[in-house]
């Protein structure tokens, strides 16, 4: 009888039956156990069939299953599962539809639950979404159907094996020569700055490269929601927030970690992503002599940064006037990164924060870098230069 190739196997038939047999017996997965299970079910036991079923089940219980080969592809930054029939990857040039498929939504659900369970998190109908970091550093987010369409969805953000240098970003076209020189001066002058941009625009990649330029004798304390920054620097201390466990206890929010970081004698305080109440503690810290502090912030443009900071801080009860007063003296510049229609990430603008007559802070463009690779200076360039030389 013809052996059934792996491509023809479905969890609804052979694979599902073998999985049930293994669950009942508690046996460890192996080709011999698979062959025994197939015999018990009256299925064909050719070598090709046994190995095909074994490989599919092995994917089901180890690593990221059928996504594992995609995660190992050179240059992959994201793997996105939109239900059973659509799996995308991002290698820095936009999303690409792959040939990887899941047999059904149940397979996507099982993979998501197994990955969540690997770090002790719950993912089921009562708690149908999760956001966490896997043991290898991969950022994992999932939402189970029917909350999501067209089925259960998984998002995996792959950590960089190594940090890009500023020179490598220059070679890749992320920044031009003028921009690279300006960013070096920004770090060397110990100005406080934020790297802004949209999701997947390269904020973390750029900030890691800039932090690698910090003087070796400076102590950096990095606070993150999920550990992603990996600067090439000899003195980095990382603090990572922790969500509540299944009992709802044990949470350690970013705001608490920012306060702890201030007690650790940082020469540079870095907040990996400013997106909540920790913004008030960061502003306070940068107003108390912690020069060279920095972080990333989701924003559509450098001009939107003050409004974004205002919204985050006022949500904690901080008055508008106090927000802008703190911001004006805490942050010197904004480096905005953008992602073009072709998926290319680049530094688009460096702006300075200034306070107007009404007391409100605005981000004024100092230098912009159009997509054609040129450099355009604006009147605020003089203000930026004065801060760099201060």
Buried b (16+ CB within 10 A) or exposed e, 158-175: bbeeebbebeebbeeebb
Contacts of 277 (CB under 8 A, 6+ apart): 253, 254, 255, 312, 315, 316
CB atoms within 10 A of CB 186: 23
Provide the whole-model pTM: 0.76
C-alpha 127/C-alpha 130 separation (Å) is 8
pLDDT of 320 above 80: yes
Residues in the chain: 390
pLDDT tens by residue, 82-92: 999 999 999 87
pLDDT tens by residue, 186-218: 999 999 999 999 988 889 999 999 999 999 999
pLDDT at residue number 138: 87
Going by pLDDT thresholds of 50, 70 and 90, the confidence category of residue 23 is low
The separation between CA 192 and the C-alpha centre of its own chain, rounded to angstroms, equals 22
C-alpha 81/C-alpha 153 separation (Å) is 5
Going by pLDDT thresholds of 50, 70 and 90, the confidence category of residue 2 is very low
3-state helix, strand, coil in the chain (%, to 5): 35, 20, 45
Q: Which of 362, 60, 332 is nearest to 182 (CA)?
A: 332
């Amino acid at each position: 009888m013809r052996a059934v190739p792996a491509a023809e196997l479905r969890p609804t038939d052979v694979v599902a039956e073998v999985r049930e047999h293994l669950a009942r017996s508690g046996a460890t997965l192996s080709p011999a156990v698979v062959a025994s299970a197939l015999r018990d079910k009256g299925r064909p036991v050719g070598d090709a069939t046994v190995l095909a079923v074994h490989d599919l089940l092995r994917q089901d219980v180890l690593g990221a299953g059928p996504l594992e080969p995609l995660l190992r592809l050179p240059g992959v930054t994201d793997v996105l599962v939109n239900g059973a029939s659509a799996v995308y990857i991002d290698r820095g040039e936009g999303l690409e539809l792959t040939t990887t498929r899941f047999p059904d939504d149940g397979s996507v659900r099982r993979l998501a639950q197994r990955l969540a369970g690997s770090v002790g998190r719950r993912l089921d109908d009562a708690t149908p979404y999760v956001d966490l970091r896997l043991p290898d550093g991969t950022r994992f987010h999932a939402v189970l159907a029917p909350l999501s369409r067209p089925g259960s969805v998984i998002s995996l953000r792959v950590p960089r094996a190594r940090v890009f240098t500023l020179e490598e970003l220059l070679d890749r076209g992320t920044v031009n020569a003028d921009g690279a020189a300006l960013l070096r001066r920004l770090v060397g002058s110990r100005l406080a700055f934020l790297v802004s941009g949209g999701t997947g625009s390269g904020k973390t990649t750029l900030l890691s490269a800039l932090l690698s330029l910090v003087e070796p004798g400076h102590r950096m304390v990095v606070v993150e929601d999920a550990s992603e920054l990996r600067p090439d620097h000899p003195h980095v201390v990382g603090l990572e927030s922790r969500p509540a466990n299944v009992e709802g206890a044990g949470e350690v929010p970013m705001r608490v970690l920012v306060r702890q970081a201030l007690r650790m004698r940082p020469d540079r305080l870095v907040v990996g992503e400013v997106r909540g109440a920790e913004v008030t503690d960061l502003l306070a810290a940068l107003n108390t002599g912690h020069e060279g502090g920095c972080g990333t912030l989701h924003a559509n443009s450098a001009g939107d940064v003050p409004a974004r900071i205002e919204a985050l801080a006022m949500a904690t009860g901080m008055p508008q006037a106090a927000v802008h007063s703190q911001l004006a003296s805490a942050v010197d510049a904004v480096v905005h990164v953008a992602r073009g229609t072709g998926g290319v990430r680049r530094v688009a603008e460096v702006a300075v924060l200034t306070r107007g007559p009404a007391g409100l802070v605005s981000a004024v463009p100092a230098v912009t870098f159009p997509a054609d690779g040129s450099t355009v200076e604006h009147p605020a360039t003089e203000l930026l230069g004065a801060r760099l030389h201060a």
